[in-house]
Amino acid sequence: EVQLVESGGGSVQPEGSLRLSCAASGFTFSNSWMSWVRQAPGRGLEWVAHIHPGGSQTYYVDSSRGRFTISRDNAKNSLYLQMNSLRAEDTAVYYCAAWVGQNYWGQGTLVTVSP
């Protein structure tokens, strides 16, 4: 059974930091492009970051570039998102998603940025 389990969300003050993790199982993680996609309350989906299966290429949406860092550890079947200098507009549910022929999504982890 395929599983993507996000963790690390929570409440943080503006300019604070959080590190999200995504534990993958049930598919060949090391062959999979991985993404972080977020959904602000009551809003649509927004791609945040994307990483090559080997980790050699990373892509960021403009609003996250310079503040967020996507990384992976294929030995641990894990994906990460280091988020620094958080802003109120970063408040959202953050999903990790796998792209390996099939497409898989986690259940999401909520990040709330407020004073």
Partner 1 sequence: DVVVTQSPLSLPVTLGQPASISCRSSQSLVKSDGNTYLHWFQQRPGQSPRRLIYKVSNRDSGVPDRFSGSGSGTDFTLKISRVEAEDVGLYYCGQTSLWPHTFGQGTKLEIK
Contacts with partner 1 by CB under 8 A lie at 35, 37, 44-47, 50, 59-62, 95, 97, 99, 102-103, 105-108
CB atoms within 10 A of CB 101: 9
CB of 13 to partner 1, least distance (A): 28
Cα–Cα distance, 45 to 15 (Å, whole number): 23
Cβ nearer to partner 1, comparing 13 with 102? 102
Cβ nearer to partner 1, comparing 12 with 33? 33
Report whether 11 contacts 110 (CB < 8 A): no
